[in-house]
Amino acid sequence: MEIIIISCNKKIASKGKSLINPYRMAKKVLFIVGSMNQTWQMHAISKNLPEYDCWFSQFFTDQKWANALMKYTPIFKGTIFSGQFKANSEKYLRANGLQIDYRAQKNKYDLIVYCSDLHVPKRMQQIKMIWVQEGMTDKLTLWSKVIKALGVSGGLSGNTSLNGSSNICDIYCAGSEGYKEQFVRLGTDREKIVVTGIPNYDDIEQYLENDFPYKDYVMVATTDMRETFRAENRPAFIRHAVKIANGRQLLFKLHPNEKFKRAEREIKKHAPEGTMIYQKGNTNHMIANCCELITQYSTVVYVGLALGKKVHSYFDLEELKRLAPVQNGGTSAIKIAGICRDVLGPVKKIEETAERYELEQSA
């Protein structure tokens, strides 16, 4: 039995004869993934690029000191560099028959599609790059401003506040006009940014049809602040949620990166008996069935806003409404794939791609 790669995504077996890979000479595209949300949307984009040889890699660095820390210490396990993020993403990639080239060591690439520009290895910067917004960015802190002023890697800010602002990539795919303006303020050239929507947050109404068995509860969506080295008073937050619920049924959906047993113990201590606690499950379906949504720093607040729920957030709600991703019926991945084709194709200047897509958006 001979296994031959015949597309960017699948392998087939053939007995007794060789098959020619029709994409052997196709241009190669590397998708950089991180969290499962980032991995899902990169896969969605790649599905619309069947004529290219698509590969995937977990977010990585070439810095030897950082790789040594990843190998010998747990310091990066709460980040998209390693730990459960890498394990879950690669499990998904293998389950879907996708080609993995961790750290871009197997091939030379014609295009790289990044889920975060907080760190981009220097050798990657020599290749055409597209950045795709994955969700909301964290609040800009004093330390973030210092990092930005020093001109060093945005990843040193310790959060995602500077994601989309490095100006390194050739094209930036933003979720909304509000985010486009934010990225411009933080240093990315306006002519590089295209408002495409965010693949996982561009068709929120679809979640109204679901089989989640409960309804009309107050839902709390937590954030992995402690796991990503940020301060949080979780007991105080739980008590605040209990106060908002005012006797109504509570449901907690924990961030997948959280230490579950610790979070569960805290909820049981500070919330009423009978409070529902979920570590896994479809968060969007849970939000669709709730009567009120309480969040911290979570992109899922946009699901609540799009569905007309009363929401609570650590972010200013008016600002969130301004930043909310465009709802385009689930076509963001298709639009981003089209941009990939333009960048890989015969355009004279990459900037012309962004300009043309912006004109089409406003037409």
- Whole-number pLDDT of residue 159: 86
Contact 163, 137 (CB under 8 A): yes
Contact 197, 175 (CB under 8 A): yes
Q: pLDDT tens-digit profile of 248-264?
A: 999 999 998 889 999 99
pLDDT of 69 strictly over 80: yes
Q: How far apart are CA 45 and CA 291, in angstroms?
A: 33
Name the token pair of 108.
Answer: 């030379």
pLDDT of 20 strictly over 60: no
Contact 259, 277 (CB under 8 A): no
Q: pLDDT tens-digit profile of 183-224?
A: 999 999 999 999 999 999 999 999 999 999 999 999 999 988
> What is the dihedral angle through the alpha carbons of 230, 168, 111, 33, rounded to the nearest 10 degrees?
0
- Whole-number pLDDT of residue 22: 52
- Whole-number pLDDT of residue 360: 65
Eight-state DSSP code of residue 263: H
pLDDT of 44 strictly over 90: yes
- Whole-number pLDDT of residue 104: 97
Name the token pair of 189.
Answer: 């050239």
Q: How far apart are CA 164 and CA 359, in angstroms?
A: 21
362 band by pLDDT with thresholds 50, 70 and 90: low
Closest CA to 109 of 46, 52, 34, 42: 52
More confident residue, 227 or 269: 269
Least confident piece of the model among 20-29, 84-93, 185-194, 199-208: 20-29
- Mean pLDDT rounded to a whole number for the chain: 89
Q: How far apart are CA 8 and CA 48, in angstroms?
A: 11
49 band by pLDDT with thresholds 50, 70 and 90: very high
119 band by pLDDT with thresholds 50, 70 and 90: very high
- Whole-number pLDDT of residue 3: 32
- Whole-number pLDDT of residue 6: 35
Q: pLDDT tens-digit profile of 315-346?
A: 899 999 999 999 999 999 999 999 999 999 86
- Whole-number pLDDT of residue 231: 84
Q: What is the pTM of this model?
A: 0.82
Q: What is the mean pLDDT of residues 25-49?
A: 95
Q: What is the mean pLDDT of residues 169-182?
A: 97
Helix (H) or strand (E) holding 70: helix 64-72
- Whole-number pLDDT of residue 11: 38
